[in-house]
Amino acid sequence: MEHIEMVEKLAEKTGVTYAEAKAALEENNWDMLDALISFERKGRVHGEKTTANYTTTAEEEPKQSTEAPKSEKGSGWEDFKRGFCTLMRKGMKNNFIVTRRGEEIICVPVLILVIVACFCFWLLLPLLIVGLFCECRYSFQGDDLGKKSVNDAMGKASAYADDLKQSVKTSLNEDKKE
């Protein structure tokens, strides 16, 4: 095997640059095994996770471009399927809860809420708004959506609806007195 082939092979196997591989081989009298062991001791071996392509010109030092091999890249379909399954799992683990005067009225998985919102958005949105004025409170429960920040935002919407309802009542009472 020629020296250049040895350098390319070592760079490919370890994931180091061409210059580093050449230096390691020169230090170890062009012994591939000793050079590989020296990289392992330094913690520089990255395995065959990348492939290396080299281009050279008369004036430039060889350049290395790396990309994941096709066998390790997930296909688009596999990535989509994995993401979709994760989304479905999270949608079933988190719940949307409607309470009124401290009593739980409805508890549905977020996935069901999303599906209903997709098909009946113009019906669901007014129902949720009317529910705010009828003392309904909305919150999320679960690992992903049951966080304080999300439920605080829902609480602010409820507080705003209460303030608006109170101001309308006050205005109506003032109009009746006049």
What value does the mean pLDDT take over residues 17-46? 85
Q: Which pLDDT score, from 0 to 100, does residue 53 have? A: 56
17 phi/psi in degrees, rounded to 5 = -75, 165
The arrangement of strands across the sheet holding 136-141 comes to: 103-109, 95-100, 136-141
Q: What percent of the chain has pLDDT over 70?
A: 83
If 0-12 CB within 10 Å is exposed, 13-18 middle and 19+ buried, where does residue 141 land?
middle
Q: Which pLDDT score, from 0 to 100, does residue 50 have? A: 47
Residue 43: pLDDT band by 50, 70, 90 thresholds?
Answer: confident
Residue 57: pLDDT band by 50, 70, 90 thresholds?
Answer: low
pLDDT score of 52 more than 60? no
pLDDT score of 174 more than 70? yes
Distance, C-alpha 134 to centroid of its chain: 37
Domains in the chain: ranges and CATH = 3-67 (1.10.8), 90-177 (no CATH)
